[in-house]
Structures are given as structure tokens and as C-alpha cells.
Structure 1
Amino acid sequence: MRDMTDMSHSAAKPSSGPRAERSATASMTYAAFLIAGLAFLVVAPAFFYPIFLMKLLCFALFACAFNLLLGYTGLLSFGHAAFFGGAAYFTAHVVKEWGFPPELGLLTGVAGAALLGLVMGYVAIRRQGIYFAMITLALSQMFFFFCLQAEFTKGEDGIQSVPRGHLFGFIDLSQSTSMYYFVLAVFLIGMVIIWRFINSPFGMILKSIRENEARATSLGYSVARYKLGAFVMSAALAGLAGGLKALVFQFATLTDVAWQMSGEVILMTLLGGIGTLIGPIFGAGLVVTLQNYLATSEFPVTIVTGVVFMVCVLVFRRGIIGEFYASRLGRKLGFEHRR
């Protein structure tokens, strides 16, 4: 206890010198990037196809939710498609069949994904490493076959023609512009939740578990409970992205719960940089852009994406954003302290 008190007192002292200057420079640079990025997102529909932008935002949120588990807790899950696709099914069903408004449909999808994450996480966190990854994959495949057989999912046809409805009863989401700004608002809310989560005492403990689980256990922390909490939070945010995607495209299909979707989000996160806040956003943007602009070309999308992934693994071992943070310029700007 005395050591922890001394640490807290030392942390409370204002820092000075080059380190403080780098931190201040990083804060200003972050603020400038955030303002520029937000301004770009606000005016983006005037320059880009709104459906493309909405898809990018949905998958960026999905990748950030996955990174919450892999990058900040050190748990590699191959089953996140279950939360993404499960929430898409839950949202699509209650909106179309039960007549729920879009905001309640989205909350239903998040709640369903969180409950699914609680069940899967309770089983999976009993193992570590590759065993944890394989258990999440097996449970995800079980959920895939459930969706294939369940009556409410409509089997291979999926749930089609999902109405977007009216947000809060008066904002018509059938208009692409209105739907885009709704997606943008939900994306920003999700990012704020993730930022607050990883910068909270809970998030600090997750990072300590990632770095040295045995030491975290010796300090008296219930590692299993913290892992389960991170798993459920990651599942809920992945469900938020999945429910949003179902409203954007107005359907939910087996593609959303297939294991390939889990592989895709892992790819996005690794390309951008695990353990960074904006890395998964960059990785999702890269993958979605390649898929969008190569879909009508003669180039096979999967091969091009695979080549990009190989190059990034060989050249950018920490991911594109992770390598920038670790570069001389990144260190000079103080980004190594703001991961």
C-alpha cells in the first residue's frame, strides 16, 4: 500500500523538462488531428459516396472494439464475428418484425451481443493463448450454425428489407445524409467510450495484465474478472458496430457471423497497429477502401489485400500507425507516451 501511495504521489507531481514538452506537443498534435479528422468527417458526404463512408465507420468501430481486447488486454479472439453478426440479426429482427425504432433496435443488438459475450467469455477466459483463440473460434462457429438453423434469422436468405425508420420519431433515416450523420454520431460515442475505458483505472489494470499477468495476480487483482469485463465490453461495442451495419445496409446475413469476418477484423487491427487508438481506424479504412475500389476491377480483392498485409507485416511490424509512433518523428512528437 505504501508503494502504491508513493507512486500515486509521484504521478501527481507536475512533470517538467523535455518529457513534459513532448507530452504537451503530443497533446496539441492530437487535438489538431482530432479537429481536422472531425471536420473531414462532417463534410465527407459532399465528396464521397455516403454508403461507403458509413461502411467504413461501422468497420472502424468494429476494429476498435476488437483492439480493446487484443491491443489492451492481450487476448486474441477468433470469434468476434458472433458479436458483430449476432447484433446485426437482433437489431434487424426487432426493427422489422417487432416495429422497434432504430435507437431501441440498436440498443437491443448491443444488449444481445453483451449477453453473448458474457456467455462466451465465461467459457473462453479459462484458457490462455492459442487455446483461448481456438475456443472463441469454436463457440463462434456454434453460433454460426445456430443462425443457419434458427427460424428468426431466415436461414441462408437472411433478414432482408430492414426499415431504417425514424430516429426519435422524427428524423427520417431513409435519407442517406441523415443516416450518415447518425452513424457518425454513434461512431464518435463508441470512440469516446473506448477512450474513457482504456484511460480509466480498469483500463490501466488491463494493460498490466497484458504486460505481466502473473504480477497482476500477485498484486491481488482478480485477473479472470477483469478479462471477462474486457471481453463483454469488446463484445458490446462490436455489437454496436454490427447493429449499425444492419441498419445501414438494411439486411443481416450469414456473412456477418462467418469466421471470415473475424479474420477480416484481425487483419484491419494488425494493419493499423494493435494497442493504438486510431490504428484500427486506419486499418479498417485501408481494407474497406481496397474492397470498395477493387470490387469492380479485374484485380482479385483477396489477393491484393493479402499482398498488402504481407508487405505491412514485413515492413511495418507494429502496424502502420504503430510504426509511426515508434519512429523518430513519432518519438519527437511524444506519441510513444500516448498509445
Structure 2
Amino acid sequence: MSSTQNSGRMAWGVVLALLIAAPFIGLYPVFMMKALCFAIFACAFNLLLGYTGLLSFGHAAYLGAAAYVTGWLVRSAGWSPELGLLAGVVIAAGLGLVVGLIAIRRQGIYFAMITLAMAQMIYFVCLQAPFTGGEDGLQGVPRGTLFGVLPLANDTVMYFFVLAVFVAVFLAIMRIVHSPYGQVLKAIRENEPRAISLGYHVDRYKLLAFVLSTAIAGLAGSLKTIVLGFATLSDAHWSLSGEVVLMTLLGGMGTFAGPVVGAFTIIGLQNFLADRVGAWVTVIIGVIFVFCVLAFRRGIVGELLAWAERRRAK
């Protein structure tokens, strides 16, 4: 095993240890859970953009739809949290399949615009459907008991469940990217005509990537609803689709850690600045994003990896 691999594993071990210790060193569990949910969302988006090269402008729709479905089933239908989460993932994957079958026929900006248009339709349904609560949102979603054993009302128990889901999703994405299927996705991202000439059914690969990404995004939305106890229209709004693009680019598109770093950075800034500068938090985050795009085009993690590569080359 190379020294680079050893260093990488040590770094991941330190990060995991910090996440495990977070509730015991004074970090607010609800903030950490929210950040982990958005980290899952950003990882899902990165699977599509960073490794497949498809830019979706409507990914919040799948998070929002899953959030509403899970919230209603757990609160009104009395479903257990694990079944509510599963239902949210299935709904998000189903919507992703329908939208993907339509959008995957186009490329570039046309693909992005179709995903945005379809997402706006889903947002309209979330606004008008009787069970969503309209502009008031879906309130009072109980956390319940996981598998009839673990009381999720306890913040510490809930945090470790969210952390376990995050680690499982992260490892699954790593496995997907390193699999033969993931290598084909990278080939499509780099040169789609060449992938077609090699005999790959490119549309099938892209459609599966789109469905996988929307399913994981749905998991993030469902988990967020269980954690916070509500689902609102902001979960399905186009502005959240823009935020996940920001998280991915800021952290480092096409890297495993990048979306996680980007999500924690954005959620941390929003949480820290909201009470201090009010609505100006959006302007400040925008300025930071512009600076990073100009000065760190690969994102935070991408630049760090490039710097480490240059050091090894010397």
C-alpha cells in the first residue's frame, strides 16, 4: 500500500472519529444532523455532475418530494420511520426515472433546462396538494422509534443513526464510482462520442446514474424531515437546487470529500451568519463562491489534492 493511500485512510479515520465525537465535544447535534443530510444531498448531486457530467437544475424537487411523502406517511398514516424513509427513496427514484426518460434524450443546457422545468412542476404539486399544507408546510412530524427499538426522539440516538446512513451512502457512492459501471460513467463524462463508439448504451448508463442520484437525494430529504420534524416548500424550491450546485463546486466537483466539505461550509455559514447579518448571508455566501471560483477553480478539496500531487511530483 502506498504512502498516499495510507495518508488518505488516516485522514478519513480522523474525520470519522471527529464525527463520532461531535455530540460529546459541544457540537449541536441538530446542526450536525442537518449538515450531514445536506452532505448526502451534495454527494448525490456530485455523482451526477462530477462523475457523469450531467448538470441538473432541479435536484431539490426529489429531496422535497421525498420529504413530503415521508413526513405525511409518518405523521398522518402512522408509518414507522424506516418505512417512511424507504417510501421517500422509492418516490424520489420513481420521479427520477420519469424525468430521466424525458431529459436524458438531450445534452448540455437543454438537459439542465428540462430538469428545471420538470422540477418546477413537482414544486407546483407540493404547493397545491392538500396533504402538504401549502405555504405552511407539513409540521409536527414525529421521529418515532427505529425498528421498534431505538427511540429517535433522543438527539444522540438520532445523530448516530444519521451518521450511520451518511457513512453507508458515502461508501456506496465510492463503490459505484470505483466499479466498472463507474468507469463507464467517467468515460461518458470525458468523451461521450468515444464511449458510444466503444459500444456502450450511453443513455442507459446516464439514466441509471440519474435515478441513483435522485434516490439518494430523496433519502437526504426524508432523513431531514425525520430530523427536523417538518417539510416545507423551501425543500423543493429551485433555490435549493442552486445551493447544492454551490456546495459541490465549492467543495470540489468530482471528488469524494468535496461535496461533504461544501455542504458543511454552506450550512455552517448559514447557521453562523443568520442571526448576525440576516438576509445578507446570501450575499456573503455569493461573494465567497465567486472568490473560490476565481481563485480555487477545482474547489477546496480539488485544490488540496492538486497541491499534494504537485508536491509528490517534485
TM class by shorter chain equals over 0.9
Partner of 2:20: 42
Counterpart selection for 1:90 from 69, 84, 87: 69
Residue pair 1:51, 1:176 contacting (<8 A) in 2 also: yes
Residue pair 1:88, 1:239 contacting (<8 A) in 2 also: yes
User: By how many angstroms is 1:146 displaced?
Assistant: 0.9
In the aligned structure 2, how far is the partner of 1:220 from the partner of 1:279? 32
How do residues 182-197 of structure 1 correspond to structure 2 at under 5 angstroms?
182-197=161-176
How do residues 113-262 of structure 1 correspond to structure 2 at under 5 angstroms?
113-262=92-241
Counterpart selection for 2:286 from 306, 315, 318: 306
Tell me the matched-pair count: 311
In the aligned structure 1, how far is the partner of 2:66 from the partner of 2:79? 14
Give the structure with higher Rg (CA): 1
Residue pair 1:113, 1:235 contacting (<8 A) in 2 also: yes
In the aligned structure 2, how far is the partner of 1:273 from the partner of 1:26? 19
Judged with a 3 Å threshold, the aligned counterparts in structure 2 of structure 1 residues 118 and 321 are, in CA distance, closer, same or farther, namely same
Residue 45 of structure 2 is aligned to residue 74 of structure 1:
no
User: By how many angstroms is 1:331 displaced?
Assistant: 4.1
TM-score between the two structures when normalised by the length of structure 1: 0.90
Segments of structure 1 that go 5 or more residues without pairing to the other structure are 1-22, 335-339
In the aligned structure 1, how far is the partner of 2:252 from the partner of 2:129? 37
Partner of 2:7: 29
In the aligned structure 1, how far is the partner of 2:239 from the partner of 2:28? 25
In the aligned structure 1, how far is the partner of 2:98 from the partner of 2:236? 17
Residue pair 1:25, 1:333 contacting (<8 A) in 2 also: no
Q: Cα deviation per residue 1:150-206 (whole Å; 9 max; x = unaligned)? A: 112121111100010001102110111111011101111111111111111110000
Partner of 1:285: 264
Backbone CA RMSD of aligned residues: 1.1
Q: Cα deviation per residue 1:41-66 (whole Å; 9 max; x = unaligned)? A: 01101221101100110001100100
Residue 252 of structure 2 is aligned to residue 273 of structure 1:
yes
User: By how many angstroms is 1:330 displaced?
Assistant: 3.4
TM-score between the two structures when normalised by the length of structure 2: 0.97
Q: Cα deviation per residue 1:7-57 (whole Å; 9 max; x = unaligned)? A: xxxxxxxxxxxxxxxx71221011101110111001101221101100110
User: By how many angstroms is 1:234 displaced?
Assistant: 0.3
Q: Percent identity?
A: 59
In the aligned structure 2, how far is the partner of 1:40 from the partner of 1:90? 33
User: By how many angstroms is 1:333 displaced?
Assistant: 5.3
